[in-house]
Amino acid sequence: MTVVAVGYERAVATLTLDAPANRNALSAVLVGELAEALAGCEKDDAVRAVVLTHTGNTFCAGADLRDPPDPGALVGLLRQIVALRKPVVARVAGHVRAGGLGLLGACDLAVAGGAATFAFTEVRIGVAPAVISLPLLPRCDPRALARYYLTGERFDGAEAVRAGLLTAAGDEVDVVLAPLLDGLRRSSPQGLAETKALLTAKVLEAFDRDAADLTALSARLFSSGEAREGMSAFLERRDPAWVV
Q: Which of 33, 42, 122, 226 is catalytic?
A: 122
Cβ proximity of 221 and 118 under 8 Å: no
User: Is 43 contained in some domain?
Assistant: yes
Helix, strand or coil, per DSSP, at residue 109: strand
Q: Is residue 130 part of a domain?
A: yes
60 has which bridge partners?
96
Confidence of residue 51 (pLDDT cuts 50, 70, 90): very high
**Residue 71: band (very low, low, confident or very high) from pLDDT cuts 50, 70, 90:** confident
Cα dihedral 156→159→165→168 (10° resolution):
90
Q: Would you say the pTM of this structure is higher than 0.75?
A: yes
How big, in percent rounded to 5, are the helix, strand and coil portions of the chain? Answer: 50, 20, 30
CATH of the domain at 58: 3.90.226.10
Residue 82, H or E segment: helix 71-83
As a whole-number percent, the residues of the chain with pLDDT over 70 amount to 100
Return d(Cα 92, Cα 101) in angstroms, integer: 11
Q: What domain count does the chain have? A: 1
Virtual CA dihedral for 56, 60, 64, 65, nearest 10 degrees?
Answer: -100
Four-CA torsion 194, 79, 9, 56, nearest 10 degrees: -150
pLDDT (mean) for 31-52: 98
In a domain, 22, yes or no: yes
Is 106 part of a structural domain of the chain? yes
- CA-to-CA distance for 48 and 189, rounded, in angstroms? 6
Identify the pLDDT of residue 111. 98
Strands 154-156, 117-119: parallel, antiparallel or unpaired by DSSP? antiparallel
Position 183 in a domain: no
122 in catalytic set: yes
- Identify whether 178 is part of a domain: no
> Measured between alpha carbons, how far is 118 from 101 in angstroms, rounded to an integer?
8
Kindly report, residue by residue over 84-132, the tens digit of the pLDDT.
999 999 999 999 999 999 999 999 999 999 999 999 999 999 999 999 9
Q: What is the pLDDT of residues 178-228, one digit of tens each?
A: 999 999 999 999 999 999 999 999 999 999 999 999 999 999 999 999 999
What domain range includes position 23? 1-171+189-244
Measured N-to-C along each axis, helices 189-222 and 71-83 cross at an angle, to the nearest 10 degrees, of 160
* 10 within domain boundaries: yes
110/44 Cα distance (integer angstroms)? 22
Does 179 fall in a domain? no
